[in-house]
Structure formats: structure tokens, C-alpha cells
């Protein structure tokens, strides 16, 4: 935002905004490339106005450079998540470079006395380029990273155009053709656009200030985002605890950072600071488990399958094997949207489960501990009565 401050967005919001920008670029870049070929192509083919300086090979070089930069920008934004994460900054530098170039080269003063890249284009091409560039950087097609960047970009380009037009009107005696007829119009147009643009930017700053005030008020009432994420994690844990025999919290490498009595009883030791994958039965089970987790929560930014139940073979601290139905859930994510904490729920199967429940009964005088255990005991009793 203005002054370098930005509204804090979640990784999901930033990714959604980047995807929207990429969709717009898929349409805008091909159209822009066709227009660039139309404007620069005639000079490349040898056309040039009377009393103008034209360099076809330079036109060709600039044409290839323009098409290449925008096409590569679109390709990388489509294919690489890390590039999309910084797409607004790349937008700013690309616009700064090429808008400055075409703004300078399309001005009638430069076309008359220096170099004419637009051999068959009317003088209005300068005004058109500024209008289109302003619309592109002010929309979601190629937005700069902050409002400060937008203000500096738009204001700077129009000041350059205004300065060139002022020099032309005050200090040069041009021929009596089309250049003399439009020079004052261009100055007035630049002034008008600069005033309109300033009004729009000031209005945008006011809206952004209102949004920030609203966001601050919501945070004051609801608590900071960290508190919300902690509450969401607690709710996920409560759901898994109600449905599973054991719940473990791990980091992205499956180092256990949170354990509970059910898990410690099943594995016959405290699982805190242990690596969960070390307690899978063998290397084959580890590979199968990690492959399934990568499909559910990919690291490359692709859309994953989400939490799914999987059957795995584990072992306890005494190397006794047992089977369990496991669900891996994303407990939290980092600022880039990558999962940095997992919550693993386990439902034990077979004879190992019965033995674990017997131990729990002995420890608690016959009362089952977890909600899942009480639910399974109730189901077993109901089945026995029915039989």
C-alpha cells in the first residue's frame, strides 16, 4: 500500500491473486505481441517516413526483445510457483523498462529529431501507448507489488511525456505538418491524464486505508491470525481424538512435536521428539507412506488429494508389528502455503488393538480412556447382544 505498507494476505489469497493475473496474461500477452508486431514490423520490412531516421535492424532487435520478455514472463508464471509468488515485482520491472522505452521512442519529438521506430503509425500512438500501459498496471493483468510502486510508475511516465511535450512546444520550431498540429494537444492530454490518474490513485489510497482500518478492527475483535490458527489446530485435534485411538502432531519431517497417552501406550514409550517414520515396519512401508503423503500435500504447488485414510504396518518400541488405519491432516502451513505441521490420527487394528485396550482397562480400573475406545466398546457390546 501507500508508504510501502501492504495489507497482509494469506498465502492462499496471494496464490489466488497470482492465478487470476496469469489467466489475464494468457489473453493479454498474445494480443500485445500482435500489436507490437503491427507497430514495429513495417520499419523492419524497410518502410520509413520522409525526413525520418529509421534503423530496421534495431527495430528487429527491440521487437524480438519485447516478444521474448513478455512470453517468457507468461511461461514462467504458468509453470513455476516460486515465480508466481513474486510476479508483481517482475510486473513492475518489466513495465518500468518497456513502458519507458516505448514512451520515449513514440513521442513525436523523438520521432522527428532522433529515431522513428513507428514508421507508418500516426502521432496518436504515443497517447495510446500511455493509456494502455496505465490500464494494464492499474488492473489485475500486471499489477505492481504495492500502491507506492503504482504511483511512482504512472506519475513518472506521464511526467517524462509531459516534459518532452513541453520542450517541444517551448524550444523547437518544427515543420508545419502533422507534428505542429498535435504538439499542444499532446501536452494538454498529458496534463489531463495526469490529473485524472492522480485522482484515481488518491481514491484508491483512501479505499485501502478504509480496508486496513476494517482489518485492524476485525483483528482487535477476533484476535490475531495466530490465535485463529491455533484454535483451528485445536479443533482438528479434538475431531481426530474423538475418532482415533491415538493422535500425534509432527513437523514436516514427521518429528513428533506433540503426543498423548494413547499414542505412548500403543508404541510402549513416549513418542515426543521421536521420528514417526522410524516406527513404520520397514523401508517399503516408509516409502509407501511418504509417497502417499506427497500425493496428498505436494511440495511443488500442485493441487493435492487432501487427507485420505491409508493402511500402514508399524512396530512398537519392542519391535512388535501391528497394523493401523492412518489419516494425515495438515495442521498448519507456512507463509508460502507449504505444510509445516502434520496431525496424524491412528485407528489400531487386529489383536494388537485388543491387547492395548486390555492394558488401558487395567491402568484405569476397567474404564476405557479415549472417546474412540468407548465408541468401539459400545459397538462390540451391541454386536454381542445382537448375536
Task: Write down the pLDDT at residue 367.
Answer: 47
Which helix or strand (DSSP H or E) is residue 102 part of?
helix 87-105
Contact 369, 247 (CB under 8 A): no
Phi, psi of 245 (to 5 degrees): -80, -25
Between CA 119 and CA 124 the distance in angstroms is 13
Task: Write down the pLDDT at residue 203.
Answer: 56
- Spacing of C-alpha 278 from chain mean position: 34
Note the residue count of the chain: 387
Rg of the chain taking only CA atoms, in angstroms: 32
Task: Write down the pLDDT at residue 2.
Answer: 35
Instruction: Give mean pLDDT in consecutive 10-residue pieces for the chain, a chain of 387 residues.
Output: 42 70 89 91 85 88 94 90 85 91 86 83 82 84 84 84 74 48 55 59 55 58 52 72 82 87 84 89 89 82 75 88 87 74 85 68 54 52 43
Task: Write down the pLDDT at residue 148.
Answer: 83
Task: Write down the pLDDT at residue 5.
Answer: 39
pTM: 0.48
Task: Write down the pLDDT at residue 383.
Answer: 46
Amino acid at each position: 500500500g501507500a508508504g510501502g505498507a501492504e495489507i497482509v494476505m494469506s498465502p492462499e489469497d496471494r496464490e489466488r491473486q497470482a492465478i487470476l493475473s496469469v489467466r489475464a496474461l494468457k489473453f493479454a500477452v498474445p494480443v500485445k505481441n500482435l500489436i507490437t508486431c503491427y507497430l514495429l514490423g513495417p520499419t523492419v520490412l524497410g518502410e520509413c517516413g520522409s525526413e525520418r531516421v529509421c534503423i530496421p535492424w534495431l527495430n528487429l532487435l527491440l521487437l524480438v526483445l519485447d516478444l521474448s520478455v513478455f512470453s517468457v514472463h507468461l511461461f514462467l508464471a504458468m509453470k513455476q510457483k516460486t515465480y508466481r509468488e513474486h510476479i508483481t515485482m517482475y510486473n513492475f520491472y518489466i513495465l518500468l523498462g518497456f513502458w519507458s522505452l516505448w514512451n520515449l521512442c513514440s513521442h513525436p519529438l523523438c520521432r522527428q529529431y532522433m529515431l522513428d521506430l513507428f514508421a507508418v503509425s500516426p502521432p496518436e500512438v504515443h497517447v495510446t501507448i500511455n493509456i494502455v500501459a496505465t490500464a494494464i498496471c492499474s488492473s489485475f493483468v500486471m499489477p505492481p507489488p504495492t500502491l507506492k510502486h503504482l504511483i511512482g510508475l504512472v506519475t513518472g511516465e506521464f511526467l517524462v511525456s509531459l516534459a518532452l511535450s513541453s520542450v517541444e512546444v517551448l524550444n523547437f520550431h518544427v515543420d508545419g505538418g502533422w507534428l505542429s498540429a498535435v504538439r499542444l494537444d499532446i501536452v494538454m492530454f498529458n496534463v489531463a491524464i495526469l490529473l485524472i490518474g492522480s485522482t484515481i490513485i488518491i481514491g484508491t489510497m483512501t479505499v485501502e486505508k478504509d480496508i486496513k482500518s476494517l482489518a485492524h478492527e476485525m483483528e482487535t475483535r477476533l484476535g490475531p491470525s495466530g490465535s485463529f490458527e491455533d484454535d483451528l489446530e485445536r479443533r482438528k485435534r479434538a475431531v481426530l481424538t474423538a475418532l482415533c485411538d491415538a493422535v500425534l502432531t509432527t513437523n514436516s519431517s514427521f518429528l513428533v512435536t506433540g503426543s498423548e497417552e494413547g499414542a505412548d501406550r500403543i508404541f510402549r514409550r513416549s513418542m515426543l521428539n521421536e521420528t514417526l517414520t522410524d516406527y513404520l515396519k520397514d523401508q517399503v512401508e516408509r516409502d509407501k507412506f511418504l509417497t502417499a503423503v506427497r500425493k496428498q500435500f505436494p511440495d511443488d504447488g500442485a493441487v493435492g488429494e487432501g487427507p485420505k485414510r491409508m493402511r500402514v504396518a508399524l512396530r512398537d518400541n519392542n519391535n512388535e508389528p501391528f497394523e493401523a488405519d492412518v489419516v494425515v491432516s495438515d495442521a498448519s502451513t507456512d507463509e508460502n502455503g507449504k505444510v509445516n505441521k502434520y496431525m496424524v490420527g491412528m485407528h489400531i487394528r487386529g489383536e494388537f488393538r485388543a491387547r492395548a485396550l486390555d492394558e488401558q482397562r487395567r491402568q484405569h480400573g476397567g474404564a476405557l480412556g479415549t472417546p474412540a475406545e468407548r465408541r468401539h466398546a459400545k459397538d462390540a457390546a451391541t454386536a454381542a447382544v445382537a448375536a
